[in-house]
Amino acid sequence: MADAEQDRHLRLTGEFDCEPTPLDTMRHSTSHVMAQAVKRLFPAVKVAIGPAIEDGFYYDFAKAEPFAPEDLARIEAVMREIVSADLPFERTEMPRADAIRFFRERGEPYKAEILEGIDAERVSLYRQGDFVDLCRGPHLGSTGQIKAFKLLSTSGAYWRGDEKNPMLWRIYGTAWLSQEDLDRHLWRLEEAKKRDHRKLGRELDLFDFYDVSPGAAFWLPHGMILVRELEKFAREELDAHDYQEISTPLLVNKRLWEQSGHWEYYSDNMFKVEVEEEIFSLKPMNCPESTYVYRRALRSYRDLPLRLSEMGRCHRNERSGTLTGLVRVRQFTQDDAHIYCRPDQLLEEITALLGLVRGWYATFDLKPSFKLSTRPEKSLGTQEQWDQAEAALYEALAANALDYKLNPGDGAFYGPKIDIDVEDVLGRPWQIATIQVDLTMLPERFQLEYIDSDGQPKRPVAIHRVIFGSYERFIGILTEHFAGAFPTWLAPVQARVLPISEKHSVYARTVHERLRAARLRAELDDRNEKLGYRIRDAQLRKVPYMLVVGEREAQGGTVSLRHRTGEDLGAQPLERVVADLSREIAARSVTLTVGRS
Ligand SMILES: [Zn+2]
Ligand SMILES: [Zn+2]
């Protein structure tokens, strides 16, 4: 995204440098003010470009040394002076040749270079006080209209994004229409940092990464519980929806990828292995192999739909520089499925699938949004096939009463699709799921057939779909969404038993055993530490429930129940706690309910 923004500003294409909306105009204007402040403090600095971006703006500067963190505060202070001075943004136009001369004379080679690269007779300049920038605009009336901003960080950035070019120093800032919006944004950034799944993964012993296998997680026992619970959830749901699970090989001869077409355009992303003088690859996707399962029997129209699910472990050769925790990996496990159906079954299948998707995300309190992408210019298949498939997607969305965004012409060459983003608790969108109708790729390339009611062989339609996306990415998202405080059914440890002192350890052991007998993931913390310390430790580990036991509890067969939030729910009969806990877990409740009745 940053590259596209950079391009837009560099080429000065389009009508404006920034969207002519109040927020983008204000952000772009703030970037000019930042450049002005930087020039005041560091007169030798050369200015490059400064577009508005999502949530803020940046500006790139040529400077011998990087900016120090304390520079940002100084720059911000000068910016505030410029804002108080309420300098008008004045637009002027001049012939391009004059503008090149103008910026040369001011010692701004980057501006001159941008001008030399564009095809325009006249260009516009914006001035506020002593600062002049090449810009299409639009801008605010004056610097005094800037409401609420903050400089966030600085990093290196190559001129025009090309590593052969000089390294510039970029300062990122954020700007909003009100102080309240700014505060909320800063809180979100702070919260996102605290929730970073890479940090929490290590602190909560969920997973780790080692340089012997970049982009592939080592799952630790507690993280493996998340994987297993999600797999169990998925399997139960899929069984209930008449899916059949398969598992196909990881290492596959390249002949398969030649037939599927992946070898042609995707082989750079595949890990290759030579075996007995033949080239194999680790599968980057599960699709083509599922066709072997389809083709091993003669299928009749009555056998369809055939819903083949697979927890497919895939490998993709992502560049090491792009790998990020669990959300950008080389090895991942998709909750994949391929549904083979008759064209007339599409509507029903997609409708059911959307219902399934909604239920899944509701389980995790994630808000989905839907994007429908239709036939692109270059595509395979007949108009009739496309019309039918697109109609099925439209109608299925309507049948589920779902709002969606339409992306005309954005479908795959082999069929239309619905992409699904989820929004987490911080309001951040994550693209995770996709439902793709495949009219031609698998059906034609692998010559899939079924015998129709008229006795004639016909091509089925394939639907590719994932709901979690990959277990890795989904667990990364869930970790941030819940800040590591997972619902009880997912929590690696569901309850901790804490005897008040050593004297109560016999009863504590009885309680622990009772929980274990009910198949709860319970721990006994009878370490020789103060109770307060052990309570805090359980809270830090995000254990949902603490069962504190002492003399009174031992006498009455009760436990003193505490939530990890710090809430103390007082003494409760042990048997009721066990029953309520089991019920909460079985219901896969997203909130803690035990002890609240
Ligand atoms: Zn500008
Ligand atoms: Zn597929």
338 included as an active-site residue: yes
2 pLDDT band, cuts 50/70/90, is very low
* pLDDT for 597: 61
pLDDT tens digits for range 70-114: 999 999 999 999 999 999 999 999 999 999 999 999 999 999 999
Q: Between the CA of residue 564 and those of 191, 429, 488, 494, what are the distances in Å?
A: 19, 27, 11, 10
Residue 478: predicted pLDDT: 97
Residue 18 bears catalytic tag: no
Q: Which one from 6, 331, 334, 385 is the annotated catalytic residue?
A: 334
- Taking only the tens place, the pLDDT of each residue in 110-164 is 999 999 988 888 899 999 999 999 998 889 999 999 989 999 999 999 998 888 9
Distance (Å) from CA 135 to ligand 1 centroid: 4
CA 435 / ligand 1 centre spacing (Å)? 40
Q: What would the mean pLDDT of 221-225 be, rounded to a whole number? A: 98
For residue 312, the ligand closest to its alpha carbon is 2
Dist. CA 113 → ligand 1 center (Å): 16
> Does the active-site annotation cover 316?
yes
Confidence band for 518, pLDDT divided at 50, 70 and 90 = very high
Whole-angstrom Cα distance, residue 178 to residue 186?
Answer: 13
CA 15 to CA 8: how far, in whole Å?
Answer: 10
285 C-alpha to center of ligand 1: Å? 44
Neighbouring residues of 429: CB distance < 8 A, sequence distance ≥ 6: 369, 421, 422, 423
Encode pLDDT of 380-394 as tens digits.
999 999 999 999 999
Establish whether the linkage from the previous residue to 138 is cis, with ω within 30° of 0. Answer: yes
Among 347, 332, 421, 429, CA closest to 388: 347
Per-residue model confidence (pLDDT) at position 295: 96
Q: Kindly give the distance from the C-alpha atom of residue 474 to the centroid of ligand 1, in angstroms, as a whole number.
A: 39
* Coil, helix or strand at residue 327: coil
Calculate how far, in angstroms, residue 489's C-alpha sits from the geometric centre of ligand 2: 30
Average pLDDT of the residues in 290-307: 96
Q: In this predicted model, what pLDDT tens digit does every residue of 398-414 receive, in sequence order?
A: 999 999 999 999 999 99
Mean pLDDT of 238-265: 94
Quick one: 360 exposed, middle or buried, by C-beta within 10 A (0-12, 13-18, 19+)?
Answer: buried
Is 380:440 a contact under the CB 8 Å cutoff? yes
Ligand nearest to the CA of 417: 2
Tell how many helices (H) and how many strands (E) occur in the chain: 19, 28
Among 464, 465, 514, 562, the active-site one is 464
CA of residue 112 to ligand 2 center, whole Å: 49
Ligand nearest to the CA of 291: 2
pLDDT at 175 over 60: yes
Widest CA span in the chain: 93
Q: What is the mean pLDDT of the chain?
A: 93
Cα 106 from chain centroid (whole Å): 44
Closest by CA to 154, choosing from 266, 255, 38, is: 38
Which residue, 441, 463, 462, 459, is CA-closest to 451? 459
- Residue bearing the bigger pLDDT, 558 or 264: 558
| pLDDT attached to residue 60 | 95
The pLDDT tens digits for 34-75 are 999 999 999 999 999 999 998 999 999 999 999 998 999 999
Cβ atoms within 10 Å of 60's Cβ, excluding its own: 25
| 305-364 pLDDT, tens digit each | 999 999 999 999 998 888 999 999 999 999 999 999 999 999 999 999 999 999 999 999
What SS3 state is found at 86?
coil
pTM score, whole prediction: 0.84
Among 8, 307, 316, 465, which one carries the catalytic annotation? 316
Q: Across residues 460-473, what is the average pLDDT?
A: 96
Whether residue 383 lies in the annotated active site: no
* Residue in the structure block whose two tokens are 């409760």: 572
Confidence of residue 575 (pLDDT cuts 50, 70, 90): very high
